[in-house]
Amino acid sequence: MAFSLRAANLDDCKDIARMIMELAEYENLAEHVKVTQKDLEQDGFSNNPLFHGIIAEVPEQHKTKEGHTKIGYALYFYAYSSWSGRAIYMEELYVMPEFRGKGVGEALMSKVAQLGLAAGCHQLNFTVLNWNKPSVDFYLSQSCFDITARMGYHCLRCEGEALKHLAQL
């Protein structure tokens, strides 16, 4: 299947917001999505972008029945490891269901890896839900490893009132 990848731009934010919601629905976590198209426009495409994106597109003749040609995306940002130095963090990777199994996800992730290596990164980090076996298997098929299983890491978070409280101590 013909598809192409390119850097995301401001005009993609509507479709990115749509696909963020599709992914969150797939993960049964849609109620946690607070980010809007406007947030994405501000945070990703202002003078100091906080994230970057890659869009996967298909030609018009392969558009979905709803008329979408933007059918997948990866979001990423640069991070730092005190042990390994520069790192790239893949915040999300998503391919619309009808376009899965055609190499799009692999191509998107490979692009993030290329960009990371070009920027001097030594690691590509990301999280996946433990029940999301197809995606865990996809990542394992890309020779990624589970740092929770191998090194005992857990992802922790402070948010909402707890975050405000912590900031006031």
Ligand X SMILES: CC(C)(COP(=O)(O)OP(=O)(O)OC[C@H]1O[C@@H](n2cnc3c(N)ncnc32)[C@H](O)[C@@H]1OP(=O)(O)O)[C@@H](O)C(=O)NCCC(=O)NCCS
Biggest CA-to-CA distance, the chain: 58
Rg of the chain over Cα atoms, rounded to whole angstroms, equals: 17
- The residue (of 21 and 163) whose beta carbon lies closer to ligand X is 21
Candidate list 76, 94, 139, 153, residue with the active-site label? 139
Binding mask of the shown chain, residues 30 to 69, with x at each position contacting ligand X by CB under 6 A: ----------------------------------------
Binding mask of the shown chain, residues 100 to 129, with x at each position contacting ligand X by CB under 6 A: xxxxxxx---------------------x-
For 80, the 3-state DSSP assignment is: strand
Please answer whether residues 53 and 75 qualify as being in contact, where contact means their C-beta atoms are separated by less than 8 angstroms. yes
Q: Tell me how far, at minimum, the Cβ of 96 lies from ligand X, in Å.
A: 8
Q: Does 94 bind ligand X (CB under 6 A)?
A: yes
- At position 23, the amino acid (one-letter code) is L
Which distant-in-sequence residues (6+ apart) come within 8 Å of 155 by Cβ?
A: 127
Q: Which one, of 52, 44, 54, lies nearest residue 3 by Cα?
A: 54
Q: Tell me how far, at minimum, the Cβ of 26 lies from ligand X, in Å.
A: 5
Instruction: List residues near ligand X by CB under 6 A.
Output: 23, 26, 93-95, 100-106, 128, 132, 134-135, 137-138, 141
